[in-house]
Amino acid sequence: MAKHTLTGNIKRHRAFPSRILGNRRDVLVYLPRGYGLLSLRRYPVLYLHDGQNVFDAATAFAGVEWGVDETAERLIQRKLIEPLIIVAVANLGDERIHEYAPTRGVIDAKAKRKRRSKGLAREYGHFLMDELKPYIDRKYRTKREAEFTGLGGSSLGALVTLAIGILYPHVFRRLIVMSPSIWWDDFAIYRLVDSIEEKAPLKIWLDTGTAEPGWEQARELRSRLVEKGWRLFNDLQYLEAKGADHSEAAWAARVDPALRFLFPP
């Protein structure tokens, strides 16, 4: 049995309801050291999908967590990043493929009966913007403006992060896009990026591991973002992690540089 290894001040909100999606999920909130009753300081906020995997090995996929709490604590203590609030938003298992998909792609191309995703990324985005964020902003001392609000995930969670960032840049501006599922629905994300008429002020961390199948697609995505006006090392950081695979452990290793890029002191 994996042991619970929560670090720092973490609040648990069980069964947070969504009217938009018609379901409930657990939400964990990491508060930085120094977040006390006596302070009036407000903090930027980073929302992360697949919340089970973010802080706790006991709930994480395959028992491997990202260790975002430990990494954030260490970086904040060393003044390498700005202190921030981190909100881990759980996925709902079978619903994940529907909520994180920006289009109604085929879930399993090899299956006899082709099941399609409901493509609920926009609705999921509205759940985050219209239901969860207002609650977090009321309950905690947050910097509410888009420029201080981040969103992140891996795999399909990275795909939905980039899609929501492009669709709703008035809410989320700092994006962690780790090993995105670019292949989804015949590269629907390329089409979304290509459709951008005016570059939004998004700051994007994009990465992939060179042991992932189709990892070169991330390089292509980087090029398309650059074509739209993002500047490498400025508002777009791109990393090809040598020999890294598509796994929680690989993503955990890249939380540190991603946080440093998006939340510098």
Question: Phi/psi zone of residue 83: left (φ > 0), alpha (ψ -120 to 50 degrees), beta?
Answer: beta
Is residue 68 in some structural domain?
A: yes
What is the number of structural domains in the chain? 1
87-134 per-position pLDDT tens digit: 999 999 999 999 999 999 998 878 778 889 999 999 999 999 999 999
User: Would 222 be classed as within a structural domain?
Assistant: yes
> pLDDT-based confidence at 37, cuts 50/70/90?
low
| Domain annotation covers residue 83 | yes
Q: Which residue has the tokens 């888009």?
A: 146
What tokens appear for 239 in the block? Answer: 């990393």
* Banded pLDDT at 36 (limits 50, 70, 90): confident
pLDDT at position 3 is 43
- Encoding tokens for residue 215? 């990892």
| Cβ–Cβ < 8 Å for 49, 100 | yes
Mean per-residue pLDDT of the chain: 94
Helix pair angle (216-227, 184-194), 10° resolution: 20
Domain that holds residue 133: 9-262
Nearest in space to 189 (alpha carbons), one of 233, 142, 156: 156
The band of 38, judged by pLDDT with boundaries at 50, 70 and 90, is: confident
Which of 65-69's residues contact partners 24+ apart within 8 Å by CB, and which partners?
Answer: 65/5, 65/248, 65/252, 66/248, 66/251, 66/252, 66/255, 67/252, 67/255, 68/30, 68/255, 69/6, 69/7, 69/8, 69/10, 69/30
Q: How confident is the model at residue 73 (pLDDT cuts 50, 70, 90)?
A: very high
Q: Is the model's pLDDT at 7 over the cut of 70? A: no
In a domain, 3, yes or no: no
Confidence grade of residue 189 (pLDDT, cut at 50, 70, 90): very high
- Among 92, 89, 95, 155, CA closest to 119: 95
Residue 24 maps to a domain: yes
What are the b/e assignments for 3-17, b being 16+ CB within 10 Å? eeebbbebeeeeebe
Q: Give the bridge partners for 232, in sequence order.
A: 236
Q: What is the signed CA dihedral for 166, 148, 136, 68, rounded to 10 degrees?
A: 90
Task: Tell me the pTM.
Answer: 0.95
Q: Identify whether 1 is part of a domain.
A: no
Rounded Cα distance, 149 and 142, in Å: 9
Q: CA-CA-CA-CA torsion for 244, 248, 251, 252, nearest 10 degrees?
A: -120
Please report, rounded to a whole number, the percentage of residues in the chain having pLDDT higher than 70. Answer: 96
CATH number at residue 59: 3.40.50.1820
Q: What is the pLDDT of residues 94-106, one digit of tens each?
A: 999 999 999 999 9
User: Residue 243 falls within a domain, yes or no?
Assistant: yes
How far apart CA 182 and CA 188 sit, in angstroms, is 8
**Exposure string for 175-186, b = 16+ CB within 10 A, e = fewer:** bbbbbbbbebbe
Q: Determine the Cα–Cα distance for residues 9 and 75; give it in Å rounded to an integer.
A: 15
Residue 194 domain-assigned (yes or no):
yes
pLDDT one-digit tens code per residue, 193-208: 999 999 999 999 999 9
pLDDT in tens, 201-232: 999 999 999 999 999 999 999 999 999 999 99
